[in-house]
Amino acid sequence: MLGRGARGSGWGLLLALLLALGVLPRVRGVEEPGSAHEESQGFQVVTFKWPHVRDPYIIALWILVASLAKIGFHLSHKVTSVVPESVLLIVLGLVLGGIVWAADHIASFTLTPTVFFFYLLPPIVLDAGYFMPNRLFFGNLGTILLYAVIGTVWNAATTGLSLYGVFLSGLMGDLKVGLLDFLLFGSLIAAVDPVAVLAVFEEVHVNEVLFIIVFGESLLNDAVTVVLYNVFESFVTLGGDKVTGVDCVKGIVSFFVVSLGGTLVGVLFAFLLSLVTRFTKHVRIIEPGFVFVISYLSYLTSEMLSLSAILAITFCGICCQKYVKANISEQSATTVRYTMKMLASGAETIIFMFLGISAVNPLIWKWNTAFVLLTLVFISVYRAIGVVLQTWVLNRYRMVQLEIIDQVVMSYGGLRGAVAFALVVLLDEKKVKERNLFVSTTIIVVFFTVIFQGLTIKPLVQWLKVKRSEHREPKLNEKLHGRAFDHILSAIEDISGQIGHNYLRDKWSNFDRKFLSKILMRRSAQKSRDRILNVFHELNLKDAISYVAEGERRGSLAFIRSPSTDNMVNVDFSTPRPSTVEASVSYLLRENVSAVCLDMQSLEQRRRSIRDTEDMVTHHTLQQYLYKPRQEYKHLYSRHELTPSEDEKQDKEIFHRTMRKRLESFKSAKLGINQNKKAAKLYKRERAQKRRNSSIPNGKLPTESPMDNFTIKEKDLELSEPEEAPDYGAEMGGGIEFLANITQDATATDSPSGIDNPVFSPDEDLSILSRVPPWLSPGETVVPSQRARVQIPCSPGNFRRLAPFRLSNKSVDSFLQADGPSGPDGSEEQPHKTLPESTHM
Amino acid sequence: MGAAHSASEEVRELVGKTGFSSDQIEQLHRRFKQLSGDQPTIRKENFNNVPDLELNPIRSKIVHAFFDNRNLRKGSSGLADEINFEDFLTIMSYFRPIDTTMDEEQVQLCRKEKLRFLFHMYDSDSDGRITLEEYRNVVEELLSGNPHIEKESARSIADGAMMEAASVCVGQMEPDQVYEGITFDDFLKIWQGIDIETKMHVRFLNMETIALCH
């Protein structure tokens, strides 16, 4: 009774719901004659129409139950860290099924193959395909295919034949089955199940190669399963004696047709999907819908053509991901990501719960100890043998060898799941006499693999010390070196005249860049579409976000006074080398000056899809400098436009301004390499961006109010001279004093300007806002814009005055250098140059 | 014949030096002759004949590496004008996959060798440091394949990477300390945790590897 207590509250709720479910149909039964009676009495104000909503209502309730159950599970970390969710769901399903049975005495809710294959499976597989690590997948494609095809055939054949052998020995007693029935059973029980594998392996975190092999196998073996299943089913229908050699050949041919056809359908639909998303610029709101609808169509189409639907939707996801992600806006991408995860996770939840519920149905249970136990033994043993044999072959060709430990995990990870169950339920009792035995055995097998192996795989992995996947931050250097590497390797292959893996990849990416991307990607997306740029961008964003987050989390004196601030860091390229002069401190200074606004800028940029800046520029600039008068600040409702509504922008802008102010003070407070690094990076990022959209929407504005703030502070500075911390003695005074000053302010908690210590004045920010909301009175609307214009140029005087604060983390010399004439690349020009560029818009 | 005998002797010697199998050496020799136009040595121009190389953005760097004395183990700097087959093999052997029979130490050594090759490619002035300028050069070339990325952003990426490298390698620096460039030790640090030995390899053609796998 693991975590019973922890789930207590959840249970109560569930039970209540369940009772409602059980009781409602009866209520209806009792009520119906009555209501029919009443109907004759004329018009009714309120009617109770349960039958009218019954089906969708029950579906919705079940989904709710499953979701609530998930909440319940996660109330206790202890339980979920030991027991996989799938196991909990199955157990929950069993309990619920028992209750339903007790209330109703018919198994009214079961996992039907139609529901499973049409509604529950596609989201999971699409999710898997869409988020497939392509490189890893194709890098191991050979291995995966071998396991998926040969391995599955091997499992099916050996299991079926061995069971038949045992049956002949008479150990199973009297069963009305022939060889073909056993082979049919073997084929449906052989396939490793993607849903179960995902559910268990996602929690185990084995290394990525191992994961991709097991998972890839479970996805790709679908074609084999489908073919084997269909072939043997038709053979059973035909009758064993009428099967000819031609049929067998047909079976083999149909394997290729089904698998390749399914893949082709997937690829075609991926192409279509990519092409469609290229033109969705003006229908942003339904953009995510295309992804789902078209990939679902690929699934249905291949199902219609009796091809492998799983392969189709998998490859649809795999092939479209690159182009779709590039084409759709950032918001849509997020929507797609979350919706997909939600659907997949929801479907998975429901599948496991209904697996449990479906098991509670005495009508389907037919027990045969020998058959059940032997099936369990055979599938485990043959899986292990198959894995060992195939790995032995593979390891002669593989660079990254699969060790014994990996093989153990692979054998052990061969979970069977809902696909097998759905297939076995599909069997026709008239053709397959022992259907119920097969069904019950499948349920046992599924439960055994999911529950027992699912429970034990984590300890096993720990015990065997399987190489875990390590979550590493993407590093810019790694990406760069990785890229260089790819080129080097393909070059070496070119030079040595071989057609290898790298050669193929290189050719493919060339082809992709030259043709596919041109057709399938938006022009704006083509520009910025580069993995390195993306990583660069991601890193910058992450830095910015974590920077803010850290500030808010640690936001106290401890933060300011933390030891890390004592160790100042100076990443300084001001080497004597003439070549690097332009990267000298003045450069950093520039970066620092705009760094704060950049934080927000890139965040904002992210929100409004960096790649579609075309239409944004004008809007943004206008709205930056010209706040709307109050009367124009009205709420609009539009079904078709979500994001770019004016008020939202304005709110955002106000938010950003506040944030910026807070950041200003953070900045001066927080020292260390993080900042330097980030600042520089952000600045550069921004420059890169500016080049693209030729404006810095947020870039110039912040000088306005922070500046005022800082002038105040500077006065304070003079006063707080004696406060200077002794250990900073050698450092340049300004910034440090400022720090001390903040500290003082904060302790006094009066902080007159209200923004110097952001952490202690979150409310204050609001009050500032309410005091001077820039858009409040129409008269004032122009003022900010004018001021902004005037102040943006960043006259050298301003510049210098700001410098001490901004550079508070800099060493003396770097500051001095920074203050002096700037580098040869004309850093002073930068602020000037940017101004006309954007104001004329 | 004596010539044949000495040839096989030579091959055996090369096997010992470079670790290639004699099959592979023969294969590569054929390729070498093809590249050189049956000359005993290859010059830089010969690489122009490889059509697939045209598209490689860091082509010049790679070709350069073939003539780099450091990679050829002939000196600490400078460029060779031409390389003979043995040199060619030496370069190629940097990309040999790691033997499964190697022990931990050998693997580490192998890894270091591979990384050194890479390092030399970045460090074009052979002063043992990848300076910002050098790094920028490489990154610019690297990204030159994409016509939409301007030089400017390439530079800023290089700068960002450099700062990252500084933060990884030096950690917290003294205020007046200056990070001059990535030394080889730093380079090793950056690569820590990335299993380069499994990545940096080319399947040199031997009969086994034509197979479909991988």
Q: Which of B168, B178, B202 sits opposite A496 (nearest CB)?
A: B202
pLDDT tens sequence across A419-433: 888 888 888 888 888
State the average pLDDT over residues A776-804: 37
Query: Among A350-364, A431-445, A723-737, B147-161, whose mean pLDDT is lowest?
Result: A723-737
pLDDT tens sequence across A326-336: 888 888 888 99
Query: Among A236-250, A413-427, A704-718, whose mean pLDDT is lowest?
Result: A704-718
DSSP B80-141: -SEEEHHHHHHHHHTTPPPPTT--HHHHHHHHHHHHHHHHHHH-TT-SSEE-HHHHHHHHHH
Q: What is the pLDDT of residue A170?
A: 80
Q: What is the pLDDT of residue A381?
A: 92
Q: What is the pLDDT of residue A269?
A: 94
State the average pLDDT over residues A536-564: 62
Residue of A nearest to B209 (CA): A397
Indicate if the pLDDT at residue A462 is higher than 70: yes
ipTM over 0.95: no
Residues in chain B with CB shorter than 8 Å from the CB of A610 are none
Q: Read off the pLDDT band of A653 (50, 70, 90).
A: low
Judge: A533–B100 Cβ closer than 8 Å, yes or no.
no
| Domain ranges for chain B | 1-93, 101-194
* B169 at interface of A, judged by CB pairs closer than 8 A: no
Query: Among A21-30, A374-383, A719-728, whose mean pLDDT is lowest?
Result: A719-728
* A673 at interface of B, judged by CB pairs closer than 8 A: yes
| Average confidence score pLDDT of chain A | 68
Q: What is the pLDDT of residue A389?
A: 92
Q: Cα–Cα distance between A40 and A657 in angstroms, integer?
A: 67
Residue of A nearest to B176 (CA): A811
Torsion of CA A347, A348, A349, A352, to 10 degrees: 120
Judge: A530–B50 Cβ closer than 8 Å, yes or no.
no
Q: If 0-12 CB within 10 Å is exposed, 13-18 middle and 19+ buried, where does residue A630 land?
A: middle
Q: Which of B149, B164, B174 sits opposite A476 (nearest CB)?
A: B164
pLDDT tens sequence across A66-116: 888 888 888 888 887 888 888 888 998 899 888 888 887 776 677 888 888
State the average pLDDT over residues A299-316: 92
Quickly count: other Cβ atoms within 10 Å of residue A429's Cβ.
10
State the average pLDDT over residues A456-474: 75
Helix, strand, coil shares of chain A, percent, nearest 5, are 75, 0, 25
Indicate if the pLDDT at residue A702 is higher than 80: no
Residue that the structure tokens 């084929």 belong to = A187
Average pLDDT along chain B, 214 residues, taken 10 residues at a time: 56 74 77 78 77 74 79 73 80 73 74 80 78 80 71 76 74 65 77 66 48 31
Q: What is the pLDDT of residue A554?
A: 62
* A475 at interface of B, judged by CB pairs closer than 8 A: yes
State the average pLDDT over residues A634-644: 51
Q: What is the pLDDT of residue A741?
A: 40
Judge: B159–A583 Cβ closer than 8 Å, yes or no.
yes
Q: Read off the pLDDT band of A614 (50, 70, 90).
A: very low
Q: Read off the pLDDT band of A765 (50, 70, 90).
A: very low
Between positions 106 and 145 of B, the ones with CB within 8 A of A are 118, 121, 131-133, 138-139, 142-143, 145
Indicate if the pLDDT at residue A802 is higher than 80: no
Indicate if the pLDDT at residue A315 is higher than 50: yes
Q: Which of B159, B175, B208 sits opposite A811 (nearest CB)?
A: B175
Q: Please check whether the domain covering A113-464 is classified as CATH 3.30.70.20.
A: no
State the average pLDDT over residues A159-182: 84
Residues in chain B with CB shorter than 8 Å from the CB of A475 are 164, 168, 190
Among A193, A248, A199, A200, which Cα is nearest to A221's? A193
Judge: B205–A476 Cβ closer than 8 Å, yes or no.
no
Q: Which of A507, A684, A810 sits opposite B156 (nearest CB)?
A: A684
> How many residue pairs from chains A and B have C-beta atoms closer than 8 A?
226
Among B94, B87, B9, B191, which Cα is nearest to A491's? B94
Q: What is the pLDDT of residue A32?
A: 44
For residues B56 and B141, the answer to whether their CB atoms sit within 8 Å is: no
Indicate if the pLDDT at residue A4 is higher than 80: no
Judge: A673–B173 Cβ closer than 8 Å, yes or no.
yes
Q: Which of A143, A146, A396 sits opposite B208 (nearest CB)?
A: A396
pLDDT tens sequence across A27-71: 444 444 444 454 556 788 888 888 888 888 988 988 898 888 888
Indicate if the pLDDT at residue A725 is higher than 80: no
pLDDT tens sequence across A473-513: 666 777 777 777 777 777 777 777 666 667 777 778 778 77
Q: What is the pLDDT of residue A675?
A: 42
Helix, strand, coil shares of chain B, percent, nearest 5, are 60, 5, 35
Judge: B202–A687 Cβ closer than 8 Å, yes or no.
no
Residues in chain B with CB shorter than 8 Å from the CB of A398 are 213-214
- Do the first three CATH levels of B1-93 and B101-194 match, i.e. the same topology? yes
Q: Read off the pLDDT band of A357 (50, 70, 90).
A: confident
Among A465, A421, A425, which Cα is nearest to A443's? A421
State the average pLDDT over residues A755-767: 40
Indicate if the pLDDT at residue A709 is higher than 60: no
Q: Cα–Cα distance between A251 and A246 in angstroms, integer?
A: 8
Query: Among A83-87, A645-649, A827-831, B70-74, whose mean pLDDT is lowest?
Result: A827-831
Give A670 or A349, the one with higher predicted confidence: A349
Judge: B155–A484 Cβ closer than 8 Å, yes or no.
no
Judge: B133–A532 Cβ closer than 8 Å, yes or no.
no
Judge: A498–B202 Cβ closer than 8 Å, yes or no.
yes
Q: What is the pLDDT of residue A696?
A: 40
For residues A547 and A674, the answer to whether their CB atoms sit within 8 Å is: yes
Q: What is the pLDDT of residue A632?
A: 41
Give A347 or B185, the one with higher predicted confidence: A347
**Looking at residue A242, what DSSP letter applies?**
G
The CATH code of the domain at B101-194 is 1.10.238.10
Judge: B157–A536 Cβ closer than 8 Å, yes or no.
yes
Judge: B202–A691 Cβ closer than 8 Å, yes or no.
no
Q: What is the pLDDT of residue A158?
A: 92
pLDDT tens sequence across A6-32: 444 444 444 444 444 444 444 444 444
Question: For every residue of A758-818, which 3-state class applies, written as one string?
Answer: HHHCHHHHHHHHHHCCCCCCHHHHHHHHHHHHHHCCCCHHHHHHHHHHHCCCCCHHHHHHH
Q: How far is B28 from chain A (nearest CA, A)?
A: 6
Q: What is the pLDDT of residue A118?
A: 92
Q: What is the pLDDT of residue A664?
A: 58
CATH architecture of the domain formed by B1-93: Orthogonal Bundle (1.10)
Judge: B143–A532 Cβ closer than 8 Å, yes or no.
yes
* A732 at interface of B, judged by CB pairs closer than 8 A: no
| Domain ranges for chain A | 113-464, 476-550
Give A211 or B35, the one with higher predicted confidence: A211
Between positions 388 and 447 of A, the ones with CB within 8 A of B are 394, 396-401
Residues in chain B with CB shorter than 8 Å from the CB of A396 are 208
State the average pLDDT over residues A396-402: 74
